[in-house]
Chain A
């Protein structure tokens, strides 16, 4: 069964740090680009960060650039999000998502096809 399981969320003070992890199973992790998407309480989805299958082309949305770093370990089948200088507006459920498969010679459709259940980050003093 294809599965993504996030962990590492919790309560952190403003200005603090957290590292989120996303453990992948049931598929060849190293073949897929991966994403972090967050959802603030009562709000919509927001794309936060993405990384290519080989760990290249890391991208982060402007609001977290310089504070969050996405990375992956293809040997451990795990995606990470290192979060620093946390602010109240970073409080959200953070979802790990797999991008639909693409490879050299096959089309890329730019969508998320598998989602984890999410991990909650609370920023409060």
Chain B
């Protein structure tokens, strides 16, 4: 069974930088999995932030960036703001068998 793991929670100070990661239970995350990142606040639909590892979706501020760090996909928020306090989900495309899998999400607190 494919499991995608994210940090359950993270905290960052306003103006600070935080990196959230997305790991596979077996193997490394690479660009071949087309990592994407989604932001969700309580009661709202997800919002697309990043796709194909590091491409920002339309209208997303450049303080959000994506990358591969070691064997994980990563989302970095530089200069965190109060309204960045949300849940963040990574998504991976696993190929024609399993298709799409999401991570369990990271709850980010800005304080």
Contact = CB atoms under 8 A, between A and B. Distances in A.
A109 B51 contact: yes
Interface stretch (B11-19, B21-29, B72-80, B101-109): B101-109
B50 to A, nearest CB: 9
Tell me what chain B mostly uses at the interface: helix, strand, loop, or mixed.
strand
Interface residues of A, number: 22
Contacts of B103: 44
Interface residues of B, number: 23
A63 B61 CA distance: 37
A112 B90 CA distance: 11
B3 to A, nearest CB: 12
A110 B93 contact: yes
A68 B53 CA distance: 31
Interface in A1-54: 35, 37, 44-47, 50
A118 to B, nearest CB: 6
B48 interface: yes
Given A110-B34, A112-B91, A115-B45, A45 B52 contact: no
Interface string B78-111: 0000000000010101000001111111000000
Interface of B: 34, 36, 38, 40, 44-48, 51-52, 55, 57, 89, 91, 93, 99-105
